Amino acid sequence: MKDVKYVGVDDLQIDLFEGQFIVPDGIAYNSYLIEDEKIAVVDSVDGHFCDEWLKKVEKALGEKSPDYIIVQHMEPDHSACVEAFCKKYPKAQVVGNQKTFVMLGEYFGEGFPKNRLVVKDGEKLSLGKHELTFISAPMVHWPEVMFTYDDYIKTLFSADAFGKFGALSKTEGEEWACEARRYYFGIVGKYGVQAKAAIAKAAAYEIKTIAPLHGVVLEGEALKESLAYYAKWTAYEPEKKGVFIAYSSVYGHTATAAKLLKEELEKRGVKCEIEDLLRSDWAENVETAFEYSHLVIAATTYNAGVFPAAKHFIDALVERGYRNRTIGFIENGTWAPVCAEQMQTAFETCKDLTFAENIVKIRSALSDESRAQISALADELKETL
């Protein structure tokens, strides 16, 4: 990107992003410095990296001073060092919208910052050749979020949109979609409608580059590919016709049933993926559930309810507005298998879901009767693909 220096940092120490997402390859907090007659820094970084970030900014500036720091998103992974920046560069103006400044006051004390430039949706700021336009993008992923479009370099600084997990130094050349999808559905997924609207608004501009706050800068084919993925994701459209089978099993009998269903589906030529909810990453499972057109949840009845791992999984899907899919259930229980109905009820606030008519009921272990139910469920799923 012409006149833009990368001043972000890699976090390889983090165990859980946002306190809940495993990030085996860490995460990048991107920050960009746009150098023109005036100099603007786009966002800061996580609080553990203020010194490293400020050193990078200082080096990128050389003899110059920054005129602006643009706060696109107030979540602390991007705003924790704004105060330290203002202490170091008191003449720089903090650029944000009204909501940004309310949050800055909450985090750093009322009245902070003194030197502020309040911008509205669509407002422009000229740095010289680079003319910036601020595009409000509420709920992608907080209410104050705004994108920044640089007309001179046709670049959209897209805040959390188009972000992914993974530090840049650990993920060079890695496929974009897998960790971008887990990031999107884990973090922004609930707000698909708002994300779609914000991206549609940004599409009015000619975009040659997308510079998100996490992960790689997207250009050329990678940009096209990411836009195509976002079109599907924000519309809750499945990417794959097939079945994701998610199971939780106490003594292995429910697992056996889930695996039998996979075999039956594959015999019928249906694409399938299976995962043990107790021994896998919950966010990866949420991502996979959104990836497929069909989902089957197999769970044990526990304390007259749904086994906790399945319950947590369903909650995570419902929270994210799971929709436009077909769902089937396998329930197990030694004396009172009752969790299928409860699982279905748990989805009642979700839109555009179809539930398979064939519900598999297992009493303790597979029987001829439950095997036949699995076969019937496989037939029904195949027919609805």
Sign of the dihedral through C-alpha 296, 298, 301, 307: negative
Residue 8 vs 238, nearer CB to ligand FEO: 8
Site for ligand FEO contains 144 (CB under 6 A): no
DSSP 324: S
Q: Measure the CA–CA gap between 170 and 224, rounded to whole angstroms.
A: 23
Q: Measure the CA–CA gap between 67 and 57, rounded to whole angstroms.
A: 12
Site for ligand FEO contains 160 (CB under 6 A): yes
Q: Which two tokens stand for residue 298?
A: 């197999």
Site for ligand FEO contains 77 (CB under 6 A): yes
Q: Measure the CA–CA gap between 201 and 299, rounded to whole angstroms.
A: 42
Residues that bind ligand FEO (rule: CB under 6 A) add up to a total of 8
Task: From residue 160, give the alpha-carbon distance in Å to each of 8, 47, 72, 305, 341.
Answer: 14, 17, 9, 37, 37
Site for ligand FEO contains 73 (CB under 6 A): yes
Give 112-158 as a 3 state SS string: CCCCEEECCCCCEEECCCCEEEEEECCCCCCCCCEEEEECCCCEEEC
Per CB under 6 A, the list member of 75, 83, 284, 331 interacting with ligand FEO is 75
Residue span binding ligand FEO (CB under 6 A) among the ranges 39-47, 73-81, 266-274, 326-334 = 73-81
Residue 29 vs 68, nearer CB to ligand FEO: 29
Per CB under 6 A, the list member of 56, 141, 181, 253 interacting with ligand FEO is 141
Residue 202 vs 272, nearer CB to ligand FEO: 202
By beta carbon distance, the residue nearest ligand FEO is 75
Q: Which of residues 187-216 bind ligand FEO (CB under 6 A)?
A: 213-214
User: What's the closest the beta carbon of residue 327 comes to ligand FEO, in angstroms?
Assistant: 29
Residue 127 vs 168, nearer CB to ligand FEO: 168
Residue ranges binding ligand FEO (CB under 6 A) = 73, 75, 77-78, 141, 160, 213-214
